[in-house]
Amino acid sequence: MNIGSAAKLSGLTVKSVRYYADIDLVKPVINEKNGYRDYNNDDVAKLGFIGQARKFNFSIRECRDLLSLYEDKNRSNKEVKKLTIEKINEIDQKLKELTLLRKKLSHLADNCKGNGRPDCPILDELSKLQKKS
């Protein structure tokens, strides 16, 4: 099938599918007659798989790893679980950072009356050169 159908079936954009072909992630056969990319059902499954993994925040590099595990029928579920746990840890780290950031920002906001006067504790705070992070 052509790229449009493959994109629709896998739930991706044509741009993404073409990009994945460019970076050798999912390489279709090339139709010699017209130069069109020709995708089969297996390719569509891989594309869908990647789409899901991307939704789970896996990078393209990680998708590549997952895909090779996905294609290897003798792979160990240990590696897959390891990748997943690492991703969870990453997310936890990000959550921690964002939570701290939110705390600091709301502290700033709480101290500012927002009453239209020129004095602003937020700007005052931002203008302090801080030596320690």
Q: End-to-end CA distance of the chain, in Å?
A: 55
Is residue 49 within the footprint of DNA (CB under 7 A)? no
Select from 15-23, 27-35, 71-79 the region that touches a second copy (CB under 8 A): 71-79
Binding site partner of 74, from DNA, a second copy, none, Cβ cut-off 5-8 A by kind: a second copy
CA-to-CA separations, 40 to 44, 100, 128, in angstroms, rounded: 6, 48, 60
Closest approach of Cβ 5 to a second copy, in Å?
Answer: 14
Is residue 4 within the footprint of DNA (CB under 7 A)? yes
Select from 17-25, 74-82, 89-97, 125-133 the region that touches DNA (CB under 7 A): 17-25
Closest approach of Cβ 45 to DNA, in Å?
Answer: 17
Is residue 99 within the footprint of a second copy (CB under 8 A)? yes
Binding site partner of 26, from a second copy, DNA, none, Cβ cut-off 5-8 A by kind: none
Is residue 34 within the footprint of DNA (CB under 7 A)? yes
